[in-house]
Structure formats: structure tokens, C-alpha cells
Chains A and B, each alone.
Chain A
Amino acid sequence: MSYYFAILSPLDTPLFEHEFGTSKSGGDGQPRFTDQARHLNQFILHSSLDIVEELQWTQPGLYLKVIDKFFQNYISAFVTASNVKFLLLHQPTTSVPTTTTTGGGGGANGGVVNTAQAAASSRVNSTSVGANPTSPQTEEAIKNFMNEVYENYVKAVMSPFYKAPNMEIRSPVFRQRVAAAGRKYL
């Protein structure tokens, strides 16, 4: 189970991104994305922004749950009061990274093949938080993660040197805090 988390400004500029793996059920907290999947992840995440912008006006809550799915990539969204979006891509997979991709097929194609292969081996531990991305337990875990990141994001914004809402968050302490929240809940 690997996660890719990004904070996007109201102008859709990435402010912060972080990759991590699950720490539940014996996970080591390391992401298992292939190099191709890394590029694809950003693409999938940003392409879900249209759906976020539609959904955010239908419900006043901050957490929008799983809003998009691309093969085995699930996107959970969280929108803050100032319209900053937190997006989390989660990929229920426990397989080791494979390097057998179709050469010359383009980055996007290779990534799809990889995730499809990974999906086949993801049934191994169906009890972990990440195994079923739409179960209430997973949604609750992601909600807790998002809320903790939100709290730290507001603290980052409170800094007088931070120009809201379109400045990259570079603080190493913020990154530590996000990583800690990931270890705690996901």
C-alpha cells in the first residue's frame, strides 16, 4: 500500500507533496511506486481536480471521501475553507515494484500495466486499512489523517512569513508532521 499526498493551492499550484507507504500491518512506511507510476501519480491526482471543484459546492463538509478512481488508484479529497485542496492518492498494493514495463509504450502506458499487475497481488491482506479503499474504516483513517494535516497547514499559514495561499510549504518540520500523521493513521 503506497500513498501520494499533495496540497494544491486555489490556483492549482502544488504547494507540498509527499510520498509514503503504509505503516499498518507490518508495513515499513516506504512507498512502492515505480518511476513511471510516480509521474503518472501527479497526472492522475491533478486530473481529479475537476471532480473536486464540482463536488465542493454540493456539500459543506471539508472531507469529500473517495472522489475518483483510475484503475487501482483511488483519490481522496479534502477542501479547506480557503479552497486549498488536499489530495491523497492511494494504491492498494503489497507487491514489490516490478520493472517489467512495455518499453517504448510511453510513460502512461507503462504505469497502467504496472498498477494492473499490482492489483492482482493486492488481495493478500484484506484486513488492513488500505486493502479496501472505500470501507468506512479506511475513510475514517484518511479523515483523521487529513484533519491532522489541516491543523498543521493552518499553523504553516499562520506564519507571518507565509503569503497565503499560493506559496510552497518548505518547512522540514511540516514534512515531519505530515509523515508522522501518515505513520499514525495509514
Chain B
Amino acid sequence: MSQPRPPNAPSASGNPSAPPQKEPSSSHTTGLRYPSNGKTIYHRHLSRSKTAELSQASFAYLFSEMVTYAQRRVTGIQDLEKRLNTQGHPLGLKLLDLLLIREPPRSQSRPLNIITLLHFIKINLWQHLFGRQADRLEKSSDPDAPDEYMIIDNEPLVNAYVSVPKEMSQLNCAAFVAGIIEGVCDGAVFPARVTAHSVGSKEEGEMWPGKTVFLVKFQPEVLEREALIGGKG
């Protein structure tokens, strides 16, 4: 754009399907509050074509910067993972509403129990973020931990170009994804702690060396409510 457009000029890329809206009067269009073409985030569509994908290279570049940023002045691996987790958390909160509204109106429903929530994460969230479903969903077989569930990804996309040095072998950068999952759980009122663990062995012949388990540990009140409503919905 070489020519600056006067405020309130009709936009060239006007969206024909959007209903005509009363634009803010010209006295308000100056300043940073309104874009010069009058298009705000409210004028954009929430749905998106199925094929819209982003470049994995640019994501990997951005993610490496995020890890570097999180690594500044951290005291240990746990601290670093916690920071990555914190970076993912708001994403999960926001994605929850976005993914629900993209569902067809008939099947729009809030997850009411743990299983529907985890299915939502395994199917909808994974499909949106990584273009495929998560590989497995498991409940902890430990009778002492009925509040633990596991989402298993054989090859997390975020770890595709991450090679962890030996002295940091505890680290799994998918803690960022764990943060997103935690955001979804917290947003849907299923408060939980989510952590990422590498379980693939480094031995020769291992099919999935990068296999990662996302351990979802729900708060006691979630299980209490689950028992009360009896798994309805």
C-alpha cells in the first residue's frame, strides 16, 4: 500500500458476506484504536478452510525462540518446563471456545465429564493443532491414582527439531503442549495438572523414540463432581 487511505474509505477487500455494519463515526477513526480501513477483529470470520496450514519450518523457528526465551534465568529443568507450560496455558483457554464454535451447531456441547473432555482434546484439539488425532488415550491402571489419565503422542510435532542434550535428558519441550491441554482442562472447569514425559527408549529398533505421554492429573473436586453427576452427558 503506497497511498494512505482516508479513514472510512470503502475497503477494497471488503467481505461481501458480512452484513453492513455501522462503522464508528469519523471523529473516532483516528488513532490506534481503529484500523484505517475500519476492519476490526470483529469483521473477520471465525471459521477457516480445512486446508489452511502453516509452515512447519517457521513454527520450528518460532518454537526454538520460545524455548530459548523460557530458558533465560531458569534454575532447573522443572522450572523451564513450568515456563513452557505457562506459555501454552492461555492458548488452551482460548482454543476451547474457538473449537467449540467451529463445530456444527447441532453438535455444539460443553464437555460435562472427563471422558468427553479428553476425547475433545484427543480429537478436536489435536486435529486443529497438529492435523491428526492423538495416538492413544489411557486411564492410569494404578488403583491409587484414579485421577490420572494419559494422552499419548508417538511423535509430538513440537519436538520434531528438538535434540535434547544429555545433561538435560529429563527435559521434554512438549511441556508447551501440556500447557495447552492444561488450559483446555482449566477452562472447561476440570482443573488439572498436565505434565509431559518422554517414554520412548533410545535403543536401536525402537519404533517411536520420541513417544511422549501427557499425564493429566485432575484435582479431587473434579472426581467428586464426576461421581455426583454420574457420568451423564
CB pair B94 A158 closer than 8 Å: yes
> In the complex, which residues 90-148 of chain A have their Cβ closer than 8 Å to any Cβ of chain B?
147
A16 within 8 A of partner (CB): no
Count of residues in B whose CB is under 8 Å from the partner chain = 32
Given A81-B187, A154-B101, A177-B42, decide whether A163 and B90 contact each other with a Cβ distance below 8 A: yes
Interface string of B85-103 (1 = CB under 8 A from A): 0000010011011111100
B110 within 8 A of partner (CB): yes
CB pair A158 B22 closer than 8 Å: no
Question: Which residue of B42, B44, B108, B111 has the most chain A CB atoms within 10 A of its CB atom?
Answer: B42
**Whole-angstrom distance from the CB of A127 to the nearest CB of chain B?**
27
A83 within 8 A of partner (CB): yes
Interface string of A138-172 (1 = CB under 8 A from B): 00000000010011111111110001110000011
Q: Which residues of chain A are within 8 angstroms of B22 by Cβ–Cβ distance?
A: 176, 180
**Whole-angstrom distance from the CB of B114 to the nearest CB of chain A?**
13
Which one of B130-138, B168-176, B208-216, B225-233 contacts A? Answer: B225-233
A163 to B89, CA, bound (A): 11
CB pair B229 A154 closer than 8 Å: no
CB pair B189 A60 closer than 8 Å: no
> In the complex, which residues 59-92 of chain B have their Cβ closer than 8 Å to any Cβ of chain A?
90
Given pairs A79-B110, A164-B187, 5 additional interface contacts (CB within 8 A): A80-B110, A81-B100, A81-B111, A156-B42, A172-B24
